[in-house]
Structure 1
């Protein structure tokens, strides 16, 4: 049985993975809540890799590698990473291709730039991708999608397919559950383990229902593949 993480610590880890919410004139916005964590973000990820009580980072590196494998990268690709952060994923890519990354955090983008990788970086979000239609052959997003509510996720899927070529590949790696039954099973498990922190995160961080997500993606006539990467993380591929 895994010991309980303090709720504040778990929330801080979640925040480093993605985007937070704020209010601006009655409209939901995404704020760069992890700007102040950009300086030490890579170290935080590294230090949490072997923490067996941390469901958030469970199999983090393996999930990255699996997502890259599912992208089927080749030198002719234009790859967009949405929520690129400090470019941890791109550091693992050995194929020479055209890299692009967007994030709402200017400090995260600055840290990515410092790594000297050949990536075109821009400020942007799921809901407003600053590129023309059919521009990318591959799109990936890792541990950022859960900061959108279902309405926003539906819009984000439309926006991603807008900039993806007709034969392109989309890969989403994030916190998900297979269906409502599996969500109930996770809730029961975390309750049994005394993991109040994880029960709160499941609700506050909008874990994605894969059954619902695949229904949205099917509108685009794509084949869908799913793979569970950890207790709470899945990888969804649309090709």
Structure 2
């Protein structure tokens, strides 16, 4: 459920916004076109949005500015605190992609950036199945996240990171559950979503999945 990584995010919270703005050399390529990635997710979002992995609230802020009602889910207390200070009027709840409080309002879009890869492939499918039960017909999932065309592409990025001396990035790519496009496509289609992918940088793709 991704909670095995909470300690990392508790420690990263204060510096997270510096990282996404390119101040951490090892992650410059991962966060390349960061604003464009968030904007693409916003552009694809419909109606009331349930956002997972709110982090410091960067996507939330853009969604709110675009006129969406947003309910946030975030497992890291340190991240929730920062996001709540930025966006005091927004509801941000403790939870993760699979275990989160009951949401009483109708959700049209489930959105997330840089978070879904914290779930194993089995957990990803459990989450997608749950999302299918939450969303109405023609409801939408929009995720911006690191994934790879093939496992070989992932291994190539690990080798490139090591060649540059980027051991933190290489460890990250080995440790977390970055999927391939076919795994994501199969998981969404199994639960009756039409899915498309748009590559945003060498690491990140935006997935748009519409419930049939």
Report what 2:16 is aligned to. Answer: 41
Unaligned regions of 5+ residues in structure 2, if any?
Answer: none
Measured in 1, the distance between the counterparts of 2:61 and 2:184 equals 28
Greater strand percent: which structure?
Answer: 1
**1:83–1:104 contact (8 Å) kept in structure 2:** yes
* CA deviation vs aligned residue, 1:121-159 (integer Å, no higher than 9, x gap): 110101113225883100111111111111211212122
The yes-or-no answer on 1:57 pairing with 2:31 is: yes
Scaled by the length of structure 1, the TM-score of the pair is 0.75
Secondary structure of 1:34's partner? Answer: helix
Report what 1:4 is aligned to. Answer: none
Measured in 1, the distance between the counterparts of 2:159 and 2:87 equals 45
Scaled by the length of structure 2, the TM-score of the pair is 0.84
* Cα offset, 1:206, TM superposition: 1.5
Secondary structure of 1:136's partner? Answer: coil
Q: Check 1:192–1:153 CA distance in 2 against 1; reply closer, same or farther (3 A cut).
A: same
* Cα offset, 1:108, TM superposition: 1.5
Measured in 1, the distance between the counterparts of 2:86 and 2:162 equals 41
Measured in 2, the distance between the counterparts of 1:38 and 1:110 equals 9
The yes-or-no answer on 1:81 pairing with 2:56 is: no
Unaligned regions of 5+ residues in structure 1, if any?
Answer: 1-18, 22-29
Q: Check 1:132–1:177 CA distance in 2 against 1; reply closer, same or farther (3 A cut).
A: same
Secondary structure of 1:130's partner? Answer: coil
Greater helix percent: which structure?
Answer: 2
* Cα offset, 1:48, TM superposition: 2.4
Report what 2:142 is aligned to. Answer: 171
Compute the RMSD of aligned alpha carbons.
2.7
* Cα offset, 1:53, TM superposition: 6.7
* Cα offset, 1:64, TM superposition: 1.0
Report what 1:224 is aligned to. Answer: 195
Q: Check 1:214–1:53 CA distance in 2 against 1; reply closer, same or farther (3 A cut).
A: closer
**2:42–2:66 contact (8 Å) kept in structure 1:** no
